[in-house]
């Protein structure tokens, strides 16, 4: 049981916009910033969004993050086939004294 809750799957057609949600609690998302990682098949996770909405250099502006209260979301616009991957949200949890992850969302580009 993950501390952060994500939908197991999401999908969209090329060019469309999809949103992936991440729900937590006061001890994690409610207090600390949210990061998003994506993982292509058979590869290591890679940072996609840091500190709620910051894009590392090299990440296209099609990817955006937001946070409100104890929830966060990742939006991907102009969906492309190469966006097919698993997406994980993450935050520090003050009660668990640990980094917590969502269970991951598998994005399928139709």
Partner 1 sequence: QALMVQSGAEVKNPGASVKVSCKASGYTFTGHYIHWVRQAPGQGLEWMGWMNPTNGGTITAQKLQGRFTLTRDTSTNTAYMELSRLRSDDTAVYYCAREVADSTGTSGLFLDPWGQGTLVTVSS
In angstroms, the CA 85 to CA 9 distance is 10
Give the whole-angstrom CA distance, residue 108 versus residue 59: 19
Minimum CB–partner distance for residue 60 and partner 1 (Å):
17
Parallel/antiparallel/unpaired status of strands 9-12 and 105-109: parallel
Q: Is 100 in the site for partner 1 (CB under 8 A)?
A: yes
* 84 vs 94 by CB, closer to partner 1: 94
CB 7 within 8 A of CB 94: no
Residues 40-99 that bind partner 1 (CB under 8 A): 44-47, 50-51, 56, 88, 90, 92, 94, 96-99
> Which residues in the 4-33 window bind partner 1 by CB under 8 A?
31-33
Q: Is the CB of 16 or the CB of 95 nearer to partner 1?
A: 95
Distances (CA, A) of 59 to 27, 62, 103, 106: 29, 8, 22, 19
Q: What residues make contact with partner 1 under the rule CB under 8 A?
A: 2, 31-33, 35, 37, 44-47, 50-51, 56, 88, 90, 92, 94, 96-104
């Amino acid at each position: 049981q993950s501390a952060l809750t994500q939908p197991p799957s999401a999908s969209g057609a090329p060019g469309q916009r999809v949103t992936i949600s991440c729900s937590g609690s006061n001890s994690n998302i409610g207090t600390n910033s949210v990061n998003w990682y994506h993982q292509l098949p058979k590869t290591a996770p890679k940072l996609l969004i840091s500190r709620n909405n910051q894009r590392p250099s090299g990440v296209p502006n099609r990817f955006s993050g937001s946070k409100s209260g104890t929830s966060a979301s990742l939006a991907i616009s102009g969906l492309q086939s190469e966006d097919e991957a698993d997406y994980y949200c993450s935050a520090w949890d003050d009660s668990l004294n640990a980094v917590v992850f969502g269970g991951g969302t598998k994005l399928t580009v139709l």
